[in-house]
Amino acid sequence: MATMLQGPLRPLRLLRVLQGLPGPAADVPFRAASHGTGLLYPEHIPTSPLQKALLAAGSAGMALYNPYRHDMVAVLGETTGRRALKVLRDQMKRDPEGAQILQERPRISLSTLDLGKLQSLPEGSLGREYLRFLDVNRVSPDTRAPTRFVDDEELAYVNQRYREVHDMLHTLLGMPTNILGEIVVKWFEAVQTGLPMCILGALFGPVRLRARHLPALVSELIPWAVQSGRRAPCVLNLYYERRWAQPLTALREELGITSPPGHTKGPA
């Protein structure tokens, strides 16, 4: 893989093959790679500042052209988010629960989730509602792309953790996976994380939305998402895996997240 990155144009070619790369081994703790390999973690692809700039430009163009190219959205996030990831990492280090997450490096995937245990939890619990979200929306935590272009092992984990709790945020906010729901979650994430990719998604996402949904989005849903994002503590400081049995209503109350305006059902 390292040979693919030689020369200033190689990153653009790399964009075309990323989709064929294997996904992350999410049942393996996110740790540093072996010394002498030149890699900071197992999926790491070292890149120069110029290569990162080319990757960012290429992935931004493709992501704006086709927002469903999640691989391009992922590359854009990794090549533009270093400063925001440092802020998030520092927030986690200052919080007891967040610091424990950084130390233990939990992963969220079908191989690490005990689906039977989640199914046996009481109605209304975080774990049961998260499982319901996955089932109703036909999504899987295994679809999250592995972090590859962040040149810091700890920041790479923070980025990966953000990706793997994305569906948890849908559950917390009561948002479906239609276009409208994704835009609302992106506004919440933009306020919470400051990641450029989230900000771009929040700003340009409405371009894909049907016109009839825009009034409710602008007047109600965006203000609610922004207010919720500002009021809530850093959502990366929540050790979700140890909160499965907590009632979702209690967790929302703890975070200061109120019920969303009811405009997100159905196709958008």
Mean pLDDT calculated for residue range 211-223: 95
**151 marked as part of a ligand binding site:** no
pLDDT band at 240 (very low <50, low <70, confident <90, very high): very high
Pairwise CA distance, residues 196 & 190, whole Å: 8
**90 marked as part of a ligand binding site:** no
**170 marked as part of a ligand binding site:** yes
Helix residue ranges, H only, 105-178? 115-120, 126-137, 153-164, 166-173
Q: How far is CA 20 from CA 17, 110, 192, 203, 211, in A?
A: 6, 21, 31, 29, 36
> Is residue 47 assigned to a domain?
yes
> Is residue 206 assigned to a domain?
yes
**263 marked as part of a ligand binding site:** no
HSE toward the beta carbon, residue 256, CA cutoff 13 A: 13
Average model confidence (pLDDT) across the chain: 87
Task: Identify the domain containing residue 157 by its residue range.
Answer: 40-255
Q: Do residues 74 and 97 lie in contact, with contact meaning Cβ atoms separated by under 8 Å?
A: no
CB-CB neighbours of 12 under 10 Å: 14
* Model confidence, pTM: 0.85
Q: What pLDDT was estimated at residue 35?
A: 55
> Is residue 264 assigned to a domain?
no
pLDDT in tens, 17-55: 444 444 555 554 566 655 556 789 989 999 999 999 999
> How many distinct structural domains can be found in the chain?
1
> Is residue 29 assigned to a domain?
no
Q: Which helix (H) or strand (E) holds 194?
A: none
Whether 63 shows a pLDDT value over 80: the answer reads: no
Mean pLDDT calculated for residue range 148-156: 96
Comparing 3-12, 130-139, 218-227, the range with the smallest average pLDDT is: 3-12
Whether 4 shows a pLDDT value over 50: the answer reads: no
Q: What pLDDT was estimated at residue 126?
A: 98
> Is residue 170 assigned to a domain?
yes
Q: How far is CA 233 from CA 54, 167, 187, 192, in A?
A: 34, 18, 15, 8
> Is residue 69 assigned to a domain?
yes
pLDDT band at 65 (very low <50, low <70, confident <90, very high): confident
Pairwise CA distance, residues 31 & 25, whole Å: 12
> Is residue 160 assigned to a domain?
yes
Q: At what angle do helices 49-65 and 196-204 cross, to 10 degrees?
A: 20
> Is residue 89 assigned to a domain?
yes
